[in-house]
């Protein structure tokens, strides 16, 4: 009896394919790569075979499986319909959640990490298998930095909250008030990597990891212009939630410092745990 594998694509399979392609691409450009694996945390003494003193950067990949749709439904009669072909895909980002996924990814990017949302422009296993075999997963995916979402919301005057990213093979928009986005091509992404390591005066990998962790500890002002999150004490509630998060992370980092061979090892493990909690893959990238 033949095994009937579901035609639906899983986030685990897609994430594996994206990570592997990114690693192969980085190696082809002459970089050294070390992915973070959670098993590292279970070792009695934490030690990483990474050259933290070399120029480099942490790469954070946030996988998103877009929901395939064939018709765009307006949330209000006055809402402008974005340019989309059928089929198209949609995923959500919550920019108002303190120390949530978007909040931490945006702060990591602003601290010097390379951070990307990556989502497939396909929905089934056969298309994934074809892209995987032909090393085309990244070319057949949306690639977007958190900062682009922030910039679009600011330009369009939209506040923080739950926003939808909709995209087809060629078009991207950030809603609620549809605003056209550009995204990144694979060539643009690799150009950013090359610039960071070869053309700019890049800091060591250790310094950027340290800066990223410090960035997580900074409170980001949440800008709300509608009633979606209004509770009467928004700012107070956000700061309480953020303070609880920061205290929990402090305890985790103290444990990692006590079990690590070096401070750099501990901070790489701490950043990896932050990424894993978000469902995000961390890869340490340095010059070979």
Structural domain contains residue 133: yes
pLDDT at 22: 97
- Edge to edge, the sheet with strand 114-120 lists 31-35, 280-287, 56-63, 114-120, 141-144
Structural domain contains residue 95: yes
Range of 216's domain? 11-287
Structural domain contains residue 5: no
Tell which residue, 115, 167, 140, has the closest CA to residue 280.
115
Structural domain contains residue 63: yes
Structural domain contains residue 169: yes
Residue 102 in contact with residue 117, Cβ under 8 Å? no
Number of domains in the chain: 1
Residue 281 in contact with residue 15, Cβ under 8 Å? yes
Structural domain contains residue 15: yes
Tell which residue, 185, 194, 213, has the closest CA to residue 56.
194
Structural domain contains residue 116: yes
Q: In sequence order, which ranges of the chain are alpha helices (DSSP H)?
A: 11-28, 101-110, 125-133, 146-156, 186-194, 205-216, 234-259, 263-277
Report how far residue 233's alpha carbon sits from residue 275's, in angstroms, rounded to the nearest whole number: 29
pLDDT in tens, the chain (288 residues): 333 444 578 888 999 999 999 999 999 999 999 999 988 888 878 988 899 999 999 999 999 998 888 877 666 555 677 788 889 999 999 998 888 899 999 999 999 999 999 999 999 989 999 999 999 999 999 999 999 999 999 888 888 889 999 999 999 999 877 889 999 999 999 999 998 887 766 789 999 999 999 998 888 877 765 544 444 456 666 677 777 778 888 888 889 999 999 999 999 999 999 999 999 999 999 988
pLDDT at 4: 42
Report how far residue 208's alpha carbon sits from residue 50's, in angstroms, rounded to the nearest whole number: 14
Long-range contact pairs involving 16-24 (C-beta distance under 8 Å, separation at least 24): 17/128, 17/131, 17/132, 17/137, 18/61, 18/63, 18/118, 18/137, 18/138, 18/141, 18/281, 19/61, 19/281, 19/283, 21/135, 21/137, 21/138, 22/59, 22/61, 22/138, 22/283, 23/283, 24/135
Tens digits of per-residue pLDDT, 111-163?
Answer: 999 999 999 999 998 999 999 999 999 999 999 999 999 999 988 888 888 99
Report how far residue 283's alpha carbon sits from residue 265's, in angstroms, rounded to the nearest whole number: 14
């Amino acid at each position: 009896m033949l095994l009937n594998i579901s035609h639906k694509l899983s986030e685990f399979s897609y994430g594996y394919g994206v990570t592997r392609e990114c690693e192969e691409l980085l190696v082809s450009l002459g970089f050294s790569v070390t992915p973070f694996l959670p098993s590292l945390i279970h070792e009695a003494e934490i030690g990483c075979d990474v050259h933290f003193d070399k120029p480099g950067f942490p790469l954070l990949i946030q996988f998103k499986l877009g929901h395939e749709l064939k018709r765009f439904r307006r949330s209000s009669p006055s809402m402008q319909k974005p340019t989309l072909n059928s089929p198209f895909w949609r995923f959500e980002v919550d920019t108002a959640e303190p120390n949530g996924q978007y909040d931490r990814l945006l702060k990591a990017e602003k601290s010097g990490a390379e951070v990307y949302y990556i989502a497939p422009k396909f929905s089934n296993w056969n298309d994934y298998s074809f892209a995987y075999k032909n090393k085309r997963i990244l070319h057949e995916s949306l690639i977007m930095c958190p900062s682009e979402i922030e910039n679009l919301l600011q330009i369009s005057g939209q506040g923080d909250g739950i926003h939808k990213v909709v995209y087809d093979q060629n078009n991207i928009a950030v809603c609620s008030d549809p605003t056209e986005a550009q995204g990144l091509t694979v060539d643009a992404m690799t150009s950013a990597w090359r610039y960071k390591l070869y053309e700019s005066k890049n800091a060591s990998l250790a310094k950027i990891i340290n800066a990223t962790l410090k960035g997580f500890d900074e409170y980001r002002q949440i800008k709300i212009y509608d009633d979606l999150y209004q509770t009467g004490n928004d700012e107070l509630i956000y700061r309480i939630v953020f303070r609880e998060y920061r205290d929990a992370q402090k305890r985790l980092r103290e444990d990692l410092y006590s079990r690590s061979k070096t401070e750099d090892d501990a901070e790489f493990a701490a950043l990896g745990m932050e990424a894993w909690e978000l469902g995000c893959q961390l890869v340490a990238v340095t010059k070979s």
